[in-house]
Amino acid sequence: MSRAEQLQNASRLWEEHLRAVFPAGLRGVEPAGIDMVLLDASVAGCVSTWLNNAGSLDPARSRILQAGIEDLDRVLLEITEAQELRYFQRLRQLAVLVSAASRAATREGF
């Protein structure tokens, strides 16, 4: 996938995520000991930064994003409600896309 396609796909997913309402049933809930609101905010902050910096993340945000993916992997095993699952699956898809694209850009010297 080209850099332009990565940006386009991430932008589309990001717009979907921004339009989605945070699942009310997960406010103040900590499956696997993970605060869902904080998880959403930290991953979203990294994605927003990546999109605003034309596909670039600094090392600290890359680590935050990777930790977010690991946390998403844990909580997705515990979410059973369909809307909640869709919301966090999309967030994980977005995080994985941004993380992979950011690593590729770093290797290519962007």
pLDDT digits (tens, 9 = 90+) for 52-77: 987 789 999 999 999 999 999 999 99
Q: Note whether 91 and 40 are within 8 A (CB).
A: yes
Q: Note whether 60 and 14 are within 8 A (CB).
A: no
The confidence score (pLDDT) of residue 107 equals 67
pTM for this one?
0.91
DSSP letters, 47-108, are HHHHHHTTS---HHHHHHHHHHHHHHHHHHTT--SHHHHHHHHHHHHHHHHHHHHHHHHHHH
The confidence score (pLDDT) of residue 106 equals 65
Q: Tell me: pLDDT of 87 over 60.
A: yes
The helix (H) or strand (E) run that includes residue 1 is: none
User: Which residue ranges make up each domain of the chain?
Assistant: 3-108
DSSP-based three-state secondary structure for 36 = helix
Q: What is the mean pLDDT of the chain?
A: 91
